[in-house]
Amino acid sequence: MSRSQAEYLWLILLATAVGILAAFGNLFLRELIRSFTYIFQVLEWRALRIPAGMPFALLTVLVLISGGAIAIALEYLFRGDILGYGFPRFLEMVHLGDARISPWWIITKALGPAVSLGAGASVGREGPIAQIGGAIGSVVAGLSGLSTERAKVLIACGAGAGIATTFNAPLGGLLFAQEIVLLGETELANLTLLVISASVGVVTSRVMLGDLAVLPAQRFVMKSYWEIGTYAMAGVLFGILAALYIRFFNATAEFFERLPIPRWARVVIGMLVVGLIAVALPPNLSDGYPVIDRALNGQLQPRTMALLFAAKFVSSSISLGCGMPGGVFGPIFFIGAMGGGAMRPLVSRLLPGVAGIRGSYALVGLGAFLAATTHAPLTAIFLLTEMTGSYDATLAALISSIIALVVARAIEPESIDTYALARRGINLEIDKDRLALSRIAAEQVMKTDITTLEAGAGLEEIFRVADESRQEIIPVVGAQRRLVGVIAPRDLVGLLLHVNDLKGLVNAADAAIGDFPAVSAKSTLEDALHLMEEELSGELPVVDPDGRGLLLGIITRRDIAQALTRATGSLALLGRRDTQIFWSSGYRVTRIRMPQGAEGKTLRELNARARFGVSVLAVQSAGDPTGGFELLEPDQRLRAGDVVIAAGRSAGLRALERELRGD
């Protein structure tokens, strides 16, 4: 057996262990929810005589507020890890962080949601179990010394296994990990690990809990293929509703965030409102799985389902928006099922004799709304069929889910998990490229052979240079090439009308834009790109890093795009063989193996760009020599034997190597 085969076998064993541990994590969360539900909805309800009905039912509000109080207390113990909808943060940590999740999340992501659901808040348990499974995967990866990329896959294995064991749905859990956690990554080796983890997790769970459908539904029957048209109509409707829910959900969170009151007060206000809704509609409490089950089996009246649809739409947004911990899958299931069940009478009126049996629209609505809100259609379809056992509904669910997704994305391009990140300017895929650009300095790719104008140049010289130059901006320089400003040829049109009157009166310094932004030679390409986007400019002057304002060159959008292409290609080539790649302006890219003296140092401590003019682009861990090269975080500690890819001039690279050796 080769070394690479042995390492992959080790990964398979780790994925198996993660699947088993995720099953126990699911059992732990279930028992916590059951315990807190007994405390709040049995013991506290009895003490307050809520089961006796009005007026005691009004005290349901106190139960929810008491749950909020415990959640706030837990937040003080585990600061930052309890309150709020945490799944977007989880995705950010996996894709833009170092893929290391605190082991405490195994506890905190179980305690918080268990309190919320026990008290009756309109939240779900699915996001938390995915985070618990992800934390388990991170711990296993950390103990095994895996690289960041391998750790990310094990985190996805844990998250997928957590979902799979929650819904007794191995394919659903697998696709959740692939579509939502790994953002659609399809590398076969990773997919195999996800399959193993989800399958082992479900087998372990079935040994402990049995093999039962989570939401057993009546058999789906399609009386006529004309019925397909009604499910397509449902897809359009749920696409619109999903887009509205994504925006309303996040707008509610923003509303609570802007309130000029302490966080505990926001939680209290939120639970007060959710409690009042629960007084009027008790089935709206918690995630409502028994109520969903009744809807899927055609046991609820359309009017009741319409009211519950509206109630959960609002109460789930308030529950998570005010800060109560939990997930969103449960509320999405509930809203989709109630909305689908409520629309059946409408279909019957519009198309008499075509509508399907009672419960069928609740079933299809659940899948369509889930697909449209998460932007993960395969996850939605397989979860729906596996957790309900309704495999006959696959065709109808597929059609409605795809249509719902297309409509939802046309209205709102972001999913419920990426909307808040996008509002903060974070894109989980694009930022990977920008992270690479943050490793390269402007001086490494700028053009130095450029056209400039002396500050005293007259109008005739200005027009001649502008006519001959292909640059978007022409820097104007004074003594010692100090940047005075820039002239944009397109802005000279107005001067043409008065060229004879202004001849001899106006020079390049007068015509230049004096406050045009410039970047330092040591600025990163990411900084330059941000500045270009702010100024709507395709070019920027580059000045010396000492603050003297001396012009060194120009950097363009094309330079940045080419640099990203070169960096990506260099990483791929150097990852396969030990060679050197020469860039423009005397720069080269090479591999440096970390000596013993570099043990424990970080990129921030080395400050290689400022001290040696060298950009450290990526690292290959000594503990995972087949794991490939990964972007190096500023505070990531290096180890002896790690191999880094660095770019710079030969003298700077030699100086960095001497520094690492301690010479």
Q: Which of 313-322, 463-472, 622-631 has the lowest mean pLDDT?
A: 622-631
On whether the CB atoms of residues 132 and 125 are closer than 8 A, the answer is: no
pTM for this model (two decimals): 0.69
Q: What is the mean pLDDT of residues 263-286?
A: 92
The percentage of the chain sitting over the pLDDT mark of 90, rounded to a whole number, equals 30
Highest mean pLDDT among 87-91, 254-258, 606-610, 631-635: 254-258
Task: pLDDT band for 96, please (50, 70, 90 cuts).
Answer: low
Between 613 and 205, residue with greater pLDDT: 205
**Digit-coded pLDDT (tens) for 320-332:** 999 999 989 889 9
Out of 114-128, 322-336, 417-431, which region has the weakest mean confidence (pLDDT)? 417-431
Question: At 616, is the secondary structure helix, strand, or coil?
Answer: strand
pLDDT-derived band of residue 572, with 50, 70 and 90 as boundaries? very low
Q: For residue 542, is pLDDT > 80?
A: yes
Mean pLDDT in residue range 387-398: 82
The larger pLDDT score, comparing residue 355 to residue 516, is at: 516
Q: Is the pLDDT of residue 66 over 90?
A: yes
The residue that leads in pLDDT, 71 or 630, is 71
Higher pLDDT, 259 or 443: 259
pLDDT over 70 percentage in the chain: 86
Burial class (CB in 10 A: 0-12, 13-18, 19+), 119: buried
Sign of CA dihedral 40, 46, 51, 54: negative
Peptide bond before 55: cis, by omega within 30 degrees of 0?
yes
Question: Could you give all domains of the chain from N- to C-terminal order, each with its CATH number?
Answer: 3-209 (1.10.3080.10), 227-263+287-427 (1.10.3080.10), 436-559 (3.10.580.10), 578-661 (3.30.70.1450)
Q: How confident is the model at residue 574 (pLDDT cuts 50, 70, 90)?
A: very low
- pLDDT at position 453, please? 83
Residue 619 near residue 643, CB atoms below 8 Å: yes
Cross-strand partners of 553: 542
Alpha carbons 137 and 153: distance in angstroms, whole number? 8
**614 pLDDT more than 80:** no
Which has more confidence, 498 or 491? 491
pLDDT score, position 573? 46
CA distance 128 to 90: 10
* Mean per-residue pLDDT, 186-196: 79
Q: What is the DSSP string of 341-360?
A: HHHHHHHHHHSTTT---TTH
Highest mean pLDDT among 197-201, 520-524, 572-576: 197-201
Tell me the pLDDT band of 19, cut-offs 50, 70 and 90.
very high
Phi, psi of 376 (to 5 degrees): -130, 80
Residue 576 pLDDT: 43
pLDDT confidence band for 581 (50 / 70 / 90)? very low
